[in-house]
Each structure stands twice: as C-alpha cells, then as structure tokens.
Amino acid sequence: MPPLYFFQSLSSIYHETFKFFTQELAVDLGTANTLIIQNDKVVVDEPSIVAINRQTNEVIAVGNRAMQMHEKTHDNIKTVRPLKDGVIADFQAAEALIQGLINMIGEKRRFFTHLKMVICIPSGITEVEKRAVFDSADHVDSKETYLIHEPMAAALGIGLDVEEPIGHMVIDIGGGTTEIAVIALSGIVTDQSIRIAGDEFTNDIIDYMKRKHNILIGERTAEQIKIHAGAAMAEIQDAPPKYAVNGRDLLTGIPKQVFTSHGEVAEALDKSIAKIEEAILKALEDTPPELSSDIFKTGLYLTGGGALLRGLDVRISLKTKLNVIIADDPLRAVVRGTGMALKNSHKFSFLIDRKSI
Ligand SMILES: Nc1ncnc2c1ncn2[C@@H]1O[C@H](COP(=O)(O)OP(=O)(O)OP(=O)(O)O)[C@@H](O)[C@H]1O
Ligand SMILES: [Mg+2]
C-alpha cells in the first residue's frame, strides 16, 4: 500500500491540472453594460449591444464596436441590445454577446476546458427567465453555472458582510432597472424592482429636448448629456458648465446646436427620480423594524451607473432623512461581487444552481 502522501500528491496534481483547464468567469450581464471578471481582474467592460447582418444573420460586432454603429446603420445592418429592463429580451443576440465577449478575453479555449460561470440576474426574474439564462450559459458551453441576484452581488461588491445579522439597504440604479433590497443573514429580506433607471433617464432627456428646444437627438447624444450635464436637482455643488447639443431641428429638418444645463436635465429627470424615491420609501416601509433600526445606523448604499448622477445622493438623503453612501466605482460593484461569489461558490448558500429552480 503506497503511503498517504502519495495519494495526497496525486490529488494535488489532479487539482492543479484541473485548475489549469478550468476557465472561471464572473459575468454581470447588464442592460447597458456587460462586465466579466477572470482571476480577480475585469477583463471585459463593454456595452451590451450586438451588430448583426440582416441578410445572413451573421454577427458583425459586439460591445464597443457595435455601439459605434448604433443608430448609424443602413438597411443591411441592425444593432440589437439583447437585454431590456434587466432581462434577456433576445436570446440569440444575448448568446452572441456573451460568446463574443468571452472570445475577447483572448485566452484560447481548449475543447476540454471546464468553463465555470457565475452570472448575475435581477432579483425580480421569473423561474422561466432563470432557466433561459442557464440555457444560454449551456450554449456557450459552460459546464458549471450559478446565478446570483444582482442586489446580493452589489452588496458583496460594496464590501458589506452579507452573512451577518445586520440589515443593509442597497439601491442599484442600472440601465434597465432600479433594484432596492434589504440584505441580512445571506438573504434578501425585502426587495423592490422598478423598470425606471438609466435608459428611462435617457428617454426623458430626448423628450425634454424635443419639447423645450424643438430638437431631435439620438440615444447616444442624450446619454452624453446625462453624463456631462446630468443632475438630480438644480441646487448642486460643482455644477457642470453648459453643454452643447447637436441634433436635427424638428421644424426645419436642418442640423442645429443648442445649449443645455444641469438645471434643465434635473427638470427632465424629475418625474422618473420621484418614482425611484417612491420605491425606496416603499422598500423602507416593508422592512421589518429591527432591520429598519440597523438601516438608520448604516444608511443607504447607492450603486450602478445611476449612482453617478450629480446630486442624487443628496436628493435621496433629503427625501429619506437617512445617510446615503455612494459605492466606490459604482459601475463595477456588481461584477466585483459576482467575482467574490465565484471564488466562494462552495460556501455561499444564496447562489442558485440549475437544480434549485
Ligand atoms: N456619470 C453618469 N451619470 C449618470 N448616469 C450614468 C453615468 N455613467 C453611466 N450612467 C448610466 O448608468 C447606466 C448603466 O449603469 P450599469 O452599468 O450599472 O447598468 P446595467 O448593469 O447594464 O443595467 P441593469 O443592471 O439595469 O441591467 C446607463 O444608463 C448609463 O447611462
Ligand atoms: Mg446592473
């Protein structure tokens, strides 16, 4: 009988070899952006968009390259955003996006590589939609797939200890959805998900520019206005300068330029932000009192791209009379948390596998 250390070294060789052939990816498949973490590094951070040849259905580009074509296509090419309101609306395009982004990582996949993925999903997703995400993962050849709810991933990525018996409220304002959740003891205690977030803000700006300045602008221009001149209220510190907007005159059809300000953007976004505030108040109302008492002390954590809107933290703080903390690098908190879940998949009970749905 060989000595024990023989078996131990055999097992360690097996594990090292297996690790070598394992590709482990944490994926934040978002309505606006998809991010992938591999070996603790963000290796992909691209807009969730695919350009497709209408005639052949062939995928021409994904991510940034496809975004450059967006709203500038001709009859032969269409651009598709596979996710809407946080969930996959076009499965074929979603799979093309995931596959295209995985290919970007550049690492050659051997046919026997064991692909393991943790994918984050909105908390309001149905069982059918969950199954569809598993199917998409199967189609890109994932051999081991787990799902994690977005607010849980956000909380982990913010650096909160989600396992302790202390309540934390996380507000993730993404492109498609705003998710508001109270997290304690590794679970989501209360949760509000509304389909008002960055995309809605962008539409509000397009509508406002039409009404106020008689100018027609595209999604990309509206998004730039939001980023460069956006604000949640008119009275903010460090107001950005006026912003030049180019578009098409609604009356004459001729290209024209107008200037907008953060005050105008705040006016354009006011109704949508009020709806987010309402959802936050509703989530606070649904929170069990002992956890409310924790939240009074810990405050509200803001994350997702929407957290970067100037003055949003102050506006929510004035409304709720609670302390509001903006997460570090809010666009990446969810993928950071998904990465942590990937590393701890053996221990986190809140991860969802195919058997549990
Ligand atoms: N500086 C900024 N100010 C305001 N909004 C911003 C800023 N930067 C990015 N955004 C917006 O944040 C949104 C993208 O955020 P994020 O990447 O968190 O969404 P997502 O995860 O793709 O969407 P979801 O979680 O809803 O599926 C976009 O609508 C973008 O316009
Ligand atoms: Mg998101």
Q: Domain-by-domain residue ranges, the chain? A: 20-153+335-356, 164-196+272-330, 198-268
The strand pairing partners of 258, in sequence order, are 245
Protein residue with least CA distance to atom 19, ligand 1 = 174
Is the Cβ atom of 82 under 6 angstroms away from ligand 1? no
- Ligand 2 centroid–CA 304 distance in Å is 6
Residue 155 has a CB neighbour count (10 Å cut-off) of 28
Q: In what order do the strands lie in the sheet with 243-249?
A: 215-216, 243-249, 255-260
164-196+272-330 and 198-268: identical CATH topology: no
pLDDT of residue 38 exceeding 80: yes
Q: Point out the least confidently predicted range of 88-92, 162-166, 221-225.
A: 88-92
Asked if CATH classification 3.30.70.100 holds for the domain at 164-196+272-330, the reply, yes or no, is no
Confidence class of residue 193 from pLDDT cuts 50, 70 and 90? Answer: very high
Question: How far is residue 67's CA from residue 348's CA, in Å, rounded to a whole number?
Answer: 36
Mutate to test the pocket of ligand 1, among 308, 326, 336 (most ligand atoms within 8 A of CB): 308
Confidence class of residue 6 from pLDDT cuts 50, 70 and 90? Answer: low
For a pLDDT cut of 70, what percent of the chain falls above it? 93
Confidence class of residue 85 from pLDDT cuts 50, 70 and 90? Answer: confident
pLDDT of residue 57 exceeding 70: yes
Residue partners of 237: CB distance under 8 A and separation at least 6? none
- Ligand 1 centroid–CA 215 distance in Å is 24
Confidence class of residue 3 from pLDDT cuts 50, 70 and 90? Answer: low
* Averaged pLDDT score across all residues of the chain: 92
What's the pTM value of the predicted model, to 2 decimals? 0.92
What confidence tens digit (pLDDT) does each residue in 325-345 have?
999 999 999 999 999 999 999
Confidence class of residue 8 from pLDDT cuts 50, 70 and 90? Answer: low
Look at residue 73 in the predicted model and tell me its pLDDT.
79
pLDDT of residue 242 exceeding 90: yes
From the CA of 173, give the closest atom in ligand 1: 18
Q: Which CATH superfamily is domain 20-153+335-356 in?
A: ATPase, nucleotide binding domain (3.30.420.40)
pLDDT of residue 284 exceeding 70: yes
Between 136 and 314, residue with greater pLDDT: 314
Asked if CATH classification 3.40.50.620 holds for the domain at 198-268, the reply, yes or no, is no
Is the Cβ atom of 32 under 6 angstroms away from ligand 1? yes
